[in-house]
Amino acid sequence: SAVISQKPSRDICQRGTSLTIQCQVDSQVTMMFWYRQQPGQSLTLIATANQGSEATYESGFVIDKFPISRPNLTFSTLTVSNMSPEDSSIYLCSVVPGASTEAFFGQGTRLTVV
Amino acid sequence: GENVEQHPSTLSVQEGDSAVIKCTYSDSASNYFPWYKQELGKRPQLIIDIRSNVGEKKDQRIAVTLNKTAKHFSLHITETQPEDSAVYFCAAGQGGSYIPTFGRGTSLIVHP
């Protein structure tokens, strides 16, 4: 199993600013995933963060808008840059530890851009 | 890549009734099919999963069935209770190097 601490849990930000979301895992994991979940909708994968290499972004998401850091095997950050109201959403990090196939999630960051 | 379709998007039942949620997947190489439950304001959590070497798995009031030929799998909840109200997500992927692809979610509402 894995326990993920994600912060902040929520924030209200001005448009044009940036917010960095942090995820700390209690064990070493190879891949960490960042998702966006808009109200009433599914989990949309933003990118996969690998330690020691650049993140892999899904279609529709770019590094300039969502830069990701992965300095070690237990930590990652996602930055939402130059925010607009359309970025208002819940952002979640997730891991699939070791030989497991179960995905574990952080508690999410509820972002509101005004 | 994998594509997972999930239906219905909303399901409303009376307490005690059964609920069935269906998913289809596109990649025949997928061999792992988990279901996650997300209660309001909380993180998704695994409730049951099935691998491609079995056709059905049951855990108390919940069960999952898999039809590999048709590439679809279903979640069955019997004797529903108000605390079953949540959003349920199916997912599909390949075990080992596992990056799950999620369905769009089903909002289950159980009326007391």
Mean pLDDT by 10 residues, chain A (114 residues): 93 97 94 89 90 89 96 95 96 85 91 97
Q: Which of B44, B48, B34, B38 is nearest to B107 (CA)?
A: B38
Location of structure tokens 């079995």: B54
Give the pLDDT score at B96: 62
Most A CBs within 10 A among B10, B30, B98, hence the mutation to make, goes to B98
Among chain A residues, the shortest Cα distance to B104 is held by A42
Flag whether residue A97 sits within 8 Å of chain B, measured between CB atoms: no
Nearest to A42 among B42, B49, B102 (CB): B102
Helix, strand, or coil here: B86? strand
Residue given tokens 């692809």 in the structure block = B101
The string of pLDDT tens digits covering residues B12-21 is 999 999 999 9
Query: In this predicted model, what pLDDT tens digit does every residue of B37-89 receive, in sequence order?
Result: 999 989 999 999 998 888 999 999 999 999 999 999 999 999 999 999 999 99
Residues in chain B within 8 Å Cβ distance of A108: 43
| Chain B environment of A107 (Cβ under 8 Å) | 42-43
In order of A5, A93, A103, B96, the CA distances from B30 in angstroms are 30, 23, 16, 11
E strand map for chain B: 4-7, 10-14, 19-25, 32-38, 45-51, 56-59, 62-67, 72-77, 86-92, 101-102, 106-111
Hey, is the C-beta of A57 within 8 angstroms of any chain B C-beta? Answer: no
